[in-house]
């Protein structure tokens, strides 16, 4: 971006306007304009009858419903259930992926035996496990966990494998010649190399995990946001369905921001993050 600014424009004496505006649009202002525009459209379209109001309640109605619900305990309970399944599943997947990924990544001979199995299991959609989860665990939290862990594990595991494989051979040999033991090498050489990959996997898994946590509640009916939405839909409470969708959107944004903040914090030593701050 800065490069675009500094580079002289060949054949032009004055920098063209688009180049300037491309470098520095007023992002907060334009962004708020976008949001306001969407809200206005959502409010006006149903009121004018452009879309049927029965199915598209205006945004004021949806937000009022959301605000009312947000003062009740069941609302937060449902969110708590969803987040609990999400967080626990993600944690299990993360721990398992790190353990197995480091163990297998460090022993290429063993890893060679697992590649075919991993390549086959990975693309299996985790929702295929839903019937099995229902039979084994019913509407228990373990059904949710099964789905979340299965989906998140592969995302993180693959990233860990790439990270472990990406270790700089010179760094590795240097560490060896300084007499670092196996554990010390993992701690000081392999782990920092893997960490950026791991965080990427975690970020992807956090989003997917939320999808599956809610899916499990929608389809299996274990308590949580998904079950609440099903109830609202079956009761014909259209505004409430929208309110829940807005709530999950907000939840998703919060999780995204949280994971990104965590990533920047954990990787603040890494050039990709340091570079951003330095400029």
Partner 1 sequence: MSQPTTVEPGATGRGDHEGPGRGPEGRAPGRAARFTASRRRPGAPGIGLRLLHVLALPTLIVGVYWAITAQPGASFYTPTPAAIASAFADLWFSERFFVDVLPSLGRLLTGFAIAAVIGVGLGVLLGLDARVRATIEPVLEFLRAIPPPVLVPLMIMLAGIDDSMKIMVIVFGCVWPILLNTVEGVRAVDPVLSDTARCYGISGVTRLRVLVLRSASPQIMAGLRLALALAIILMVISEMFASSSGLGFAIVQFQRTFAIPEMWAGMVLLGVIGFLLSSLFELVEGRVLGWYRGLRAANRGE
Long-range contacts of 259-266 (CB under 8 A, 24+ apart): 259/202, 259/203, 259/206, 260/203, 262/199, 262/202, 263/199, 263/202, 263/203, 266/195, 266/199
Residue 99 to residue 88: CA distance in whole angstroms? 17
Nearer to partner 1, 31 or 74 (CB): 31
- Number of C-beta neighbours around residue 5 at 10 A: 12
Nearer to partner 1, 180 or 231 (CB): 231
**Shortest gap between Cβ of 119 and partner 1 (angstroms)?**
8
CB of 130 to partner 1, least distance (A): 7
Minimum gap (Å) between residue 226 Cβ and partner 1? 7
3-state helix, strand, coil in the chain (%, to 5): 80, 0, 20
What minimum distance in Å lies between the beta carbon of 99 and partner 1?
Answer: 18
CA separation for the pair 2, 278 (Å, rounded): 13
Pick 97 or 214: Cβ nearer partner 1: 214
Nearer to partner 1 by Cβ, of 141 and 147: the residue is: 147
CA distance 235 to 229: 10
Q: Identify the CA nearest to 77 among candidates 267, 245, 225, 244.
A: 225
Q: Least separation, in Å, of the C-beta of 179 and partner 1?
A: 29
For partner 1, the closer of residues 189 and 241 by Cβ is: 241
| Closest separation in Å from C-beta 30 to partner 1 | 4
* Nearest alpha-carbon partner for 92 in 144, 28, 24, 131: 144
DSSP secondary structure string for all residues of 206-246: HHHHHHHHHHHHHHT--SSHHHHHHHHHHTT-HHHHHHHHH
Measured from the CB atom, is 180 or 270 closer to partner 1? 270
């Amino acid at each position: 971006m800065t490069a675009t600014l500094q580079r002289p424009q060949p054949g032009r004496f004055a920098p063209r306007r688009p180049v300037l505006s491309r470098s520095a649009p007023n992002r907060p202002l334009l962004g708020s304009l976008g949001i306001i525009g969407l809200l206005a459209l959502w409010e006006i379209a149903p009121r004018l009858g452009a879309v049927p109001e029965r199915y598209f309640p205006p945004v004021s109605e949806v937000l009022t419903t959301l605000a009312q619900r947000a003062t009740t305990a069941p609302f937060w309970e449902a969110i708590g259930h969803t987040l609990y399944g999400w967080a626990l599943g993600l944690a299990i997947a993360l721990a398992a992926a790190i353990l197995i990924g480091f163990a297998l990544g460090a022993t290429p001979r063993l890893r060679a035996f697992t590649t075919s199995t991993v390549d086959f299991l990975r693309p299996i959609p985790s929702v295929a496990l839903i019937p099995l989860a229902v039979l084994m665990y019913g509407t228990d939290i373990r059904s949710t966990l099964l789905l979340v862990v299965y989906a998140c594990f592969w995302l993180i595991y693959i990233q860990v494998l790439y990270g472990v494989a990406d270790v700089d051979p010179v760094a590795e040999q240097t560490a060896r010649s300084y007499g670092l033991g196996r554990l010390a090498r993992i701690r000081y050489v392999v782990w920092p190399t893997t960490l950026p990959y791991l965080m990427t996997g975690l970020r992807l898994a956090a989003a997917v995990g939320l999808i599956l946590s809610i899916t499990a509640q929608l389809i299996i009916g274990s308590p949580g946001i998904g079950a609440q939405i099903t109830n609202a839909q079956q009761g014909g409470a259209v505004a409430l369905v929208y309110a829940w969708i807005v709530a999950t959107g907000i939840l998703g944004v919060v999780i995204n921001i949280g994971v990104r903040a965590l990533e920047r914090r954990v990787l603040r030593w890494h050039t990709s993050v340091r570079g951003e701050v330095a400029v």
